[in-house]
Amino acid sequence: MIDYKKLLNKTVADIPPSGIRKFFDLAAQMDDVISLGVGEPDFATPWGIREAGIYSLERGRTFYTANAGLLELRQEICRYTERKFGVSYNPENEVLVTVGGSEAIDLMIRSVINPGDEVLIPEPSFVCYKPITELAGGVPVVIETLEKDEFRLTPEQLKNAITSRTKVLILPYPNNPTGAIMRRCDLEAIADVLDGTDILVLSDEIYGELVYSDEPPCTFSAIDGMRERTIVVNGFSKAFAMTGWRLGYALGPKEIILPMTKVHQYGIMSSPTTSQFAAIEAMRSCDADVEAMRREYNYRRRYIVDGFRKMGLSCFEPLGAFYIFPCIKPTNMSSEEFCARLLEEEHVACVPGNAFGKCGDGYIRCSYAYSVDSIEKALKRISKFVEKYTK
């Protein structure tokens, strides 16, 4: 009998299994569940994009592309980034097309981390940064962001976390799960702290277009002096409703993009060709589709925030992504207990805040990538539940 446990890579074996897996499975098996638990758009990919993918198949474009991605797509990504965020990149060597934003995150961390290097990770945040850092031999250093700061990373928190071993700062904004954003002035304050250091920044801007403030969205690389130290990760999943196409990209100085391309070349070869052809259309002619979806999310955002506040739960105003992060502390339950009972008693699925870091306990993540009618139904059930347990 083989003892597989002994054969596994130690770091992989030590990564804890997701504690809430059981809860997810339960939700998936239940009938009549209204879910606010999904981290992807409810819109299907705009038809023009789907049609471009189909057309590429009809023409037989079914081969590998260049490792870094189709040059035509890289050119379009650069034009798009300049148009939307005002930063220019060279399509020849400063763009890498990846399998979703997640691959870009993995490549960046693997390309720069040596054993013992520290990676600063503001939490609550998406679940991949910590395990990827550990797999690369790095040391994750969590910075707990707070509701009173609207879950923004503050310059003081950053200063306190920096050591001589700090290699990378992750900037996960607009944020999943809190919906927090960093305004230009917040980013400038972070830049002031980083100025003069050798710390690299991985700015995960996968929700970068989904911002609902009056200020135009701002990328970290647009802040004075930050372009040279920043890898921007973006992609097609969220803004263009293309999660299943698995396509993202990284932008940054060639000194980092080219080593990342090397790792990508050996692990992946090239990103899916059909998706790349579809993505050219997305970059070129879908601004109006993105804006229409953003507007719709904004209606739902206001609707759901108002709904939670009416229940008496505090909820800071999230200005990005498609999540809200209400505080459920008045019910005296942990996040996991709240979500498990809510699922059991009212058949509503939300995600416990602690799935995104310890400091997320006391909160739940609700996605508003659902129709207003679905949100209305879910809110009614949650309201009944909250009323029962806050009396």
Residue type for position 129: Y
- Single out the residue of 186, 300, 335, 382 in contact with other proteins (rule: CB under 8 A): 300
Q: Exposed, middle or buried by CB within 10 Å (0-12, 13-18, 19+), for 284?
A: middle
Nearer to other proteins, 80 or 126 (CB): 126
Nearer to other proteins, 8 or 30 (CB): 30
Does 242 participate in binding other proteins (rule CB under 8 A)? no
Does 27 participate in binding other proteins (rule CB under 8 A)? yes
Does 37 participate in binding other proteins (rule CB under 8 A)? yes
Torsion on CA atoms 15, 142, 134, 268, rounded to nearest 10 = 100
Report, in Å, the least distance between residue 307 CB and other proteins.
7
Quote the CA–CA distance of 308 and 173 in Å, as a whole number: 23
Site for other proteins in 346-375 (CB under 8 A): 349, 351, 355-356, 372
Does 88 participate in binding other proteins (rule CB under 8 A)? no
Residue-by-residue DSSP string for 284-320? HH-HHHHHHHHHHHHHHHHHHHHHHHHTT-------B
Nearer to other proteins, 39 or 155 (CB): 39
The CA-to-CA distance between both ends of the chain, in Å, stands at 56
Does 127 participate in binding other proteins (rule CB under 8 A)? yes
Does 345 participate in binding other proteins (rule CB under 8 A)? no
Residues with Cβ within 8 Å of residue 302, at least 6 apart in sequence: none
Quote the CA–CA distance of 227 and 253 in Å, as a whole number: 8
The closest of 231, 251, 243, 257 to 207, measured between CA atoms, is: 243
Residue-by-residue DSSP string for 115-167? TT-EEEEEES--TTHHHHHHHTT-EEEEEE--GGGTTPPPHHHHHHH--TTEE
Nearer to other proteins, 147 or 317 (CB): 317
Nearer to other proteins, 179 or 253 (CB): 179
Nearer to other proteins, 127 or 199 (CB): 127
Nearer to other proteins, 191 or 375 (CB): 375
Site for other proteins in 252-291 (CB under 8 A): none
Does 55 participate in binding other proteins (rule CB under 8 A)? no
Does 176 participate in binding other proteins (rule CB under 8 A)? yes
Which residues sit at the interface with other proteins, rule CB under 8 A?
24, 27-28, 30, 33, 35, 37-40, 42, 44, 126-127, 176, 295, 299-300, 302-303, 306-307, 349, 351, 355-356, 372, 376
